[in-house]
Amino acid sequence: MPRPIPMETRDWVELVIADNIDDLLRYFRRRVDQPEDASDLLGYVLLALWENGARVPTSDTEARMWCFGIARNILREHHRHTIKRIALADQLRHHLRDLASPDNAADTTVVAQDRGRMIREAVRSLDDRSKELVTLVHWDGFTIAEAARVLRINESTARTRHARALKRLEKSLRDDLEELASLQSDTAAS
């Protein structure tokens, strides 16, 4: 649990937030594809300000620069996660497209079935809330915002839960697909 912030520090953090919040929100809005991501990212900046209130510089200019430094780091992390999430979603789409491939040679069909089984097992291994969210987004075609409404959860909660679920799936599938590739190369060599 975070340490309580002394009153004078709280007053200063509140002043820094009041002076910079609109500019920080505009900063994010200009740099993200989804407008709702801007408010989520701003929330992370505000959280960082409150958690590190004692470290906020005491001059207006330095405090502003510090806020934007935090915003830049949070935005960089957001873009990194977005790239990973898109790559994993693309892998899932390609895999699902391969399952529907007209090439139905026995070995191709077996490989596709193994991959499909691995993906279904990986998705099933998620907790119920994450599993439903991933299924709605990747198999039913909903956006994360739409899936959040279906599940009656906050959009930012849905995005966070979705990103964490994709990380778990990525790790699980990477291990399983490496094992499958190893088995296939052993089978091809014999």
Q: What pLDDT does 146 receive? A: 86
Structurally, what CATH architecture does the domain formed by 7-79 represent?
Orthogonal Bundle (1.10)
Q: What pLDDT does 53 receive? A: 86
Query: Could you tell me which residue, 24 or 94, shows the higher pLDDT?
Result: 24
Distance (Å, whole) CA 187 – CA 181: 10
Query: Could you tell me which residue, 105 or 35, shows the higher pLDDT?
Result: 35
- Residues 65-80, mean pLDDT to the nearest whole number: 92
Q: Which two tokens stand for residue 67?
A: 């806020």
What is the CATH number that goes with domain 101-189?
1.10.10.10
Q: What is the DSSP annotation of 15-78?
A: HHHHHHHHHHHHHHHTT-SSHHHHHHHHHHHHHHHHHTGGGS-SSHHHHHHHHHHHHHHHHHHH
Short-list 120, 168, 163, 125, CA closest to 144: 163
Q: What pLDDT does 1 receive? A: 46
**pLDDT confidence band for 4 (50 / 70 / 90):** low
Summarize pLDDT for 26-59 with one digit per residue, the tens.
Answer: 999 999 988 889 999 999 999 999 898 888 998 8
Distance (Å, whole) CA 188 – CA 184: 6
Q: What pLDDT does 183 receive? A: 63
Can you give the residue ranges of every domain in the chain? 7-79, 101-189
Contacts of residue 159, defined as CB under 8 A and 6 or more positions apart, other chains included, come to 37, 40, 144, 148
- Residues 160-184, mean pLDDT to the nearest whole number: 79
